[in-house]
Every structure is written in structure tokens, then in C-alpha cells.
Amino acid sequence: MSFLPLTPGGQTPPRVMTIAGSDSGGGAGIQADMRTFALLGAHACVAVTAVTVQNSMGVKGFHEIPLDVIVGQIEAVVSDIGVQAAKTGMLASSDIIAAVAETWRGQGLAGTVPLVVDPVCASMHGDPLLHPSALDALRTDLFPLATLVTPNLDEVRLIVGIDVVDEASQRDAARALHALGPQWALVKGGHLRSSPESPDLLFDGTDFHEFGATRVDTGDDHGAGDTLAAATAVALAHGYTVPDAVAFAKSWVTECLRAAYPLGHGHGPVSPLFRLAVDGSS
């Protein structure tokens, strides 16, 4: 794969912010985002929204960060360091979603800084990471601010009520998601088991773009969605168009899936650490 441009030492790299939850197991959430940001050469800024208590076997619980602390983190970073792109992950509650959306608008970032919204609803084990009552806030407060939304098929079902089972329903879902206000909607096909490929469908209200990638058969895919959204955000920070950013992120996450490793007794994480391998050809 080809990588994004790197910044020489001593010079400031693109700054990308993740607004997301912490995974104590280090495989998903802000930890996954920061791994990808760093290994793609970006400077990672963080607004922590919630702290999960989890390991490779699941999420035991989470603690929400107070709203003023979440807002404060975003304002502190934006007012000083500045960001060229951002992504959201676990937002936990409607109050947090509303506060993030209001801050994004209030800081003048809406429409100027690319925002990738990964509408995280549950862990891969099915543990809830978003209160069901927060779906409305996601739809009405945050989606209209998004450059791109990146739901998986379970999230598509919860957000627009469409069961994606084939290409036609995947297109219907992309249209329904786009109607909620994001500039682009990506319907990830990763869980579309009927397909030997894993086509993702991107829609901007006019054109459909399809992204195929060879399925990597691994149970160690914790953090794959976060990693895709994070890599997309870094590419957008470099000025890529959304289709080019998604194409780059797909190839990145495919390599991270190939490099995934077992961890603990459950599911291991996708791994950007392949970038550091001594035998890595990149």
C-alpha cells in the first residue's frame, strides 16, 4: 500500500483529534485512534468522553466524563493547537452528543474542519456503549455536522431501521443515512456475511462509490471500525477527497487486520504496529 506523506522531525505534523471513549484493553476507542494517528504520522489530540472498564472479553462498565470536562478538552485543543480533522467514537449519552455538537459549532469548526462520525453503539461483544435514548441526538445533532458517517450494519439498523442484506438494501441505507444530513455516508459491508468480499458503499447524495477489499478472516478484529474512521480522518487532514480518504483507510485497515494479534482470552486488536516491523517493506 502507499502511505500518507510524513512530516520531517522538528516540524509540526497534521493535528487530528479524537473525541471518544477509552478502552483499558488498548484495542479500540481512543487507544486505537491514537495508534493509527501516530503510525500515519499525525499528532493525536484527544477529548475523552467516557472511560470503559474492559479487556479482550468484553466491556464490564463505563464512566462518563462530566460535560464541562469534555467541552473543555475540545476548546483547549482548538483554541491553541488547532486541528485539521477530527473523528468521534463512543459518545455514551445524548447529553454528551449535544455538548460535542454545540462545541463543534460554537468553535466555528462546522463546515471548515472535516469531521468523521463513527456512530459507535456497542462493542463487538454486544455490550452497549451508547444509551438507546441517544440515537435521536446522534441523528439530529451530530449527523448534520459530519463530513462522513461510518456506521457498521448493526448501527445502520439502529439508526435508520434498515436491515442491510444485499446491494439494494445497502443503497437504501446509504440514502437514508445521507438524508440525515452528513455530506457523505459510508455503509460498511464488513458484517455482510453473504459476500466473499467486504464491499463498503459511499454516497454523497448523488453518486455511489463502491470499495471492495479482500476479507481478512480473523477473530482478532477489535477496533477495526475505529481504525478505519481514524485513518480516514488523517487522510482528510492531508486534504484528500472523501472517496480517496476512504480508499486509503480501507487499505490501511486491511493491513491492520492482517497484522492483528491474539490478546488475552477473547478477541485481539487490529494492529497498526506492522508499520514498525523490521521486515516491513514500507
Q: Out of 120, 160, 164, 174, which residue is the one contacting ligand PXL (CB under 6 A)?
A: 120
At residue 127, the 3 state secondary structure works out as: coil
Span of 5-13, 22-30, 109-117, 180-188 interacting with ligand PXL by CB under 6 A: 22-30
CB contact set of 57 (below 8 Å; sequence gap of 6+): 125, 264, 265, 266
Cell triple for 240: 484528500
- 220 lines the binding site for ligand PXL (CB under 6 A): no
Cβ–Cβ < 8 Å for 87, 232: yes
- 65 lines the binding site for ligand PXL (CB under 6 A): no
Q: Which is nearer to ligand PXL, 42 or 270 (CB)?
A: 270
Q: How many residues bind ligand PXL (CB under 6 A)?
A: 16
Tell me the residue ranges of DSSP E strands in the chain.
15-23, 43-55, 58-64, 85-88, 115-117, 148-149, 184-187, 200-203, 208-211
- 269 lines the binding site for ligand PXL (CB under 6 A): no
Q: Which is nearer to ligand PXL, 13 or 29 (CB)?
A: 29
CB contact set of 221 (below 8 Å; sequence gap of 6+): 124, 257, 260, 267, 270
We find the least distance from the C-beta atom of residue 123 to ligand PXL, in angstroms, to be 3
- 90 lines the binding site for ligand PXL (CB under 6 A): yes
Span of 106-114, 143-151, 164-172, 218-226 interacting with ligand PXL by CB under 6 A: 218-226
Spatial distance between the Cα atoms of 73 and 81, rounded to a whole number of angstroms:
11
- Which parts of this chain interact with ligand PXL (CB under 6 A)? 20-21, 23, 28-29, 52, 54, 59, 89-90, 120, 123, 129, 223, 225-226
